[in-house]
Amino acid sequence: MKARQIVEEMDSYVPGRSQDEIAQDFGLKKEDIIKLGSNENPWGPSPKALKAIEEEMSAINRYPESQLHELVEEIAKYSDVDTSQVIVGGDGADEIIDVLAKTFIDNGDEFIVPLPSYMYYEYLLKQYGAKPVYARWDLDENRLDVDSIYEKISPKTKMIFLCSPNNPTGTLIEKETLREIASKNPEILIVIDEAYFEYSEVTNKDLIDEFDNIFIIRTMSKVLGLAGMRIGYGLACSQIIEYMHRIKPVFSLTRLSFVAALNTFRDSEYIESSIKRGIESRQYLYDEVSKIDGLYVFPSKSNFMLIRVKDTGFTASELAHELMKRGVIVRDCTSFKGLDEYWIRISICTLEEDERFIEILKEVLS
């Protein structure tokens, strides 16, 4: 059976390595592995979410909620928007991106992504016949090259993806820059990925009241500690949300994901603690990595940071392999378009794990 042509041409998405994989490959104990490769919350989920999951277990023979009214209300309150401006999806933010594509992309459309950035946008939209066009992040200045966006816009441009803080650079895009791009291109959907906005303590959600061509992507996989439950949500003007609800799968959120999400948003103490500890861990890692000869680490407004390793004598792949042998998972960024073979990304861990990582990193580099 021959697959569609686009499927034949596509490469598979390359995710970060799991603890189970590393434990098996290197003969290590899973519980001893330090995972700095997937930008997760290392302190676990909200206790209220765990309790709600346990209480809901006996009901998994029933279909989940379809309208998600309670959850939409909690997200609207958390985001300070109207309920008509919220859409919720399963499979993390990935389903939200997929529904965006199914709602607005026609075969032959183009979308712009500045490189390097999150590559899953491309992976999903290409399936619907859209063509990626690449703008750029200025790695020397650690900022978005705005002119490169304007240079790539054509009559076929349907969307522009702007990740803020950007993955993997950790860079914020100035709100005025986003406002300018949206106002100059009213027929193009400006998709702002705020997966890590809590760590930056900056949001662009107020722009959805100014512009009907801005869509904000968010996830519960980072600060909110529910990566394994796969919950994402989007914020936009009510017309965009209504269009997307025509396409979105009805039962995309499981019963357990629903109650986990609902009770996490109701646990403000947990959220505040996760943000505070995440920022503390980020600062510790930045300070300590910056002291190591041969490494250059980007300042970050997220829960991860990008590190250039070229002056160590290792490639990213070689360094990642040496660290994995010692039970540390980092992200080899060689697969990120726009980066060469000398970049790794690390994400926050507990301070105890951070300290162990720094010791192991120094050992490998020495």
Interacting residues of 146 by C-beta distance below 8 A, sequence separation 6+: 177, 180, 181
How many other C-beta atoms can be found within 10 angstroms of the C-beta atom of residue 359? 12
pLDDT at 5: 77
In whole angstroms, give the CA distance from residue 301 to residue 310. 23
Burial string for 146-181 (b: 16+ CB within 10 Å, else e) reads bebbeebbeeebbbbbbbbbbbbbbbbbeeebbbeb
In whole angstroms, give the CA distance from residue 106 to residue 116. 25
CATH 3.40.640.10 spans which residues of the chain?
A: 47-267
pLDDT at 104: 98
CATH 3.90.1150.10 spans which residues of the chain?
A: 5-44+269-365
pLDDT at 67: 83
* Nearest residue to 65 (alpha-carbon basis) of 238, 294, 249: 249
Q: Which of left, alpha, beta for 164 (phi over 0: left; psi -120 to 50: alpha)? A: beta
In whole angstroms, give the CA distance from residue 364 to residue 319. 8
In whole angstroms, give the CA distance from residue 125 to residue 226. 25
CATH code of the region 5-44+269-365: 3.90.1150.10
The parts of the chain modelled with pLDDT lower than 50 are none
If you classify domain 47-267 with CATH, what class do you get?
alpha beta
pLDDT at 106: 96
Interacting residues of 220 by C-beta distance below 8 A, sequence separation 6+: 92, 226, 229, 231, 232, 233, 261, 264
